[in-house]
Amino acid sequence: MLNVATYGERIKNEITNGIEITDTLKQILISEDGEIHQFETIAGNLMSNSIESVQLAPNGVVTDIYPANENEAGKIDLIHDKDRGKISCYARDNHTIITQGPFKLKQGGYGIAVRNPVYLKDKNGHEYFWGFTIVILRVPDIFSDSISALSNFGYEYKISKTDAPWSDTYKVVYQSDGQINRPVSYTFTIGDENWKFEVTPKSGWRNATLLIIIIGLFLTISLLLSILTRVWLVAKEHKKKFQILARTDSLTNIYNRYGFDEFAEKMIQKNPKTHFVAALLDIDDFKFINDIYGHNYGDRALKNLADSMKTFFPSDALLGRNGGDEFCILLPNCTFAEAAIQLQKFTKLPKSFSYHGKEHAFYISLGYAEYPTFASNRSQLMRCADAALYEIKLHGKNGCMVYREGLRSDARKQLGFAFKDISEHLPGAFIIYRADKEDDELFFANDEFLHMSGYKDIDELFRLTEKSFRNLIREDEQQQIESSIWEQIDNGNENDYIHFHLRKADGTYFSVLDHGRIVESPQYGKVFYVLFMDWEDMHIRYNDKFAR
């Protein structure tokens, strides 16, 4: 019985190793809020000779399969499929892995489908079903090492499983060619399904001498297992690499939220009497960077911030990215008084990203708190740091603040509207440009302005005007209009009001009223925000007002 148990456990482990691929994909989805970037690369690294394919099924619908070749027919709705729906719904509703099969594969042989349900949490902390991570195991390849050894030593065998989690009927997964008489069996469980491994000598259980021989054979097999241990260690090393991948943010190469929370929890639980300082930080006006320069340059800012964190903080500091532009830090053996100067210095440290050969500065806000002074566990500590970050945002951003009694750690609200929302829905045409007499570089124009002046997009505007506000003014008015703007500003006015003819995309001009305001931007110095109104349209709509 001991020997059949040894082989039964080997077969179970071989199947489980294949199933662990779905767990790796599941952890990546949890850490990346339901997204997997570079799915084909990750799936390709997870593949082995015993794996037919790796799949993703958000909401139960298969959308991604690796390898994709000849597998398009596999993109089906599992929840509503007549053959797969009932068991897939069972996995979804019972939070359990299920296996289904075996079934014939197009490339020959048989396969077993493993479906692992994934659950995420929404912004209110409520759990919801994301979908399935799936792996198709080749049969008998997945347990070929075990059955090959059994055949070589003269044994018949049969591997079977319950037809469904709610069924007691066993279905054969794979068996040898010969007849099985009076087998010794071993059962094990995967998910909610029972598996059975049965084995018997080809010549049957004859006498005590044969049993002694069998014992000798299994002792020999035990020696063989020591050789296979090396193979297991290599597989374990690969598993370790994938675990690191599941805990690492692919963009910045520091811990993602899942990895940071896991290791921070372990550090505090292991050293409950040690002082820790946790910090949360984010990039001020990050949406502005994405909207103006594009997401690729926003990613550059995120990478540069992560690199500066790795350079600035000591090697024992735990660094992570929560998602978006929010980062987290855990400093061990440190009080908030000891960390204050260090965190303030990092907050004020110059940070920038490169855009078309020019460096553009960006700024951060940071809140921090101390364990156990203000918190009794990791989650409470992070909430306190979050409350301090929220408070510094309310006080003008680009600063650093420690948590103190009186700050609410349970209710952080979303600040304001996204710049993109405002620019698209504000009922008026506006632009932003540098307030410099020698360099009036255009930074931005909203959709309303582009529509009003006939430019198909902002790239066409930049190309036709050479990114200069002066080139929007009719040539014979340029000197007069620029002089009028700066005369109003030099006289101490923050606002200017001018009337001129504005250049359209087709080279024609139309009359506009320009209402500009000069402001100080931390990124660009002095800039003009300018609102435009169609002069002729104003006269038509408000003719009675102009007539007075």
User: Residues 4-17: pLDDT tens digits?
Assistant: 777 778 888 888 88
Q: Are residues 336 and 388 in the same domain?
A: yes
The Cβ-side half-sphere exposure at 210, using a 13 Å CA radius, reads: 11
Provide the pLDDT for residue 524: 72
Q: Residue 227 pLDDT > 80, yes or no?
A: no
Does 233 lie in the same domain as 124? yes
Same domain, 350 and 447: no
Record the pTM. Answer: 0.45
pLDDT tens-place string over residues 176-218: 888 888 888 888 888 889 989 888 888 766 554 556 676 677 7
Averaged confidence pLDDT in the chain: 85
The tokens describing 297, both together, are: 């340059």
Any idea which of 19-28, 106-115, 274-283, 362-371 has the lowest mean pLDDT? 106-115
Q: Is the pLDDT of residue 415 over 50?
A: no
Picking from 354, 518, 342, 345, the residue whose alpha carbon sits closest to that of residue 433 is 518
Does one domain contain both 207 and 273?
no
Choose one of 239, 265, 296: the last residue of a domain. 239
Per-residue pLDDT averaged across 409-437, rounded?
A: 68
Relative orientation angle of helices 208-246 and 39-46, to the nearest 10 degrees: 160
Assess whether 90 and 173 both reside in one domain.
yes
125 touches 50 (CB < 8 A): no
Q: Let me know whether 55 and 194 are in one domain.
A: yes
Does residue 63 fall inside a structural domain?
yes
Residues 338 and 394 in one domain: yes
Q: Of 466, 469, 421, which Cα lies nearest the Cα of 446?
A: 421
| Domain assignment of residue 516, yes or no | yes
Note down the domain range covering 205: 2-239
Judged by DSSP in three states, 459 sits in helix
* Most confident segment among 225-239, 242-256, 461-475: 461-475
Both 39 and 79 in a single domain?
yes
Q: How many domains does the chain have?
A: 3
Q: Are residues 368 and 431 both part of a single domain? A: no
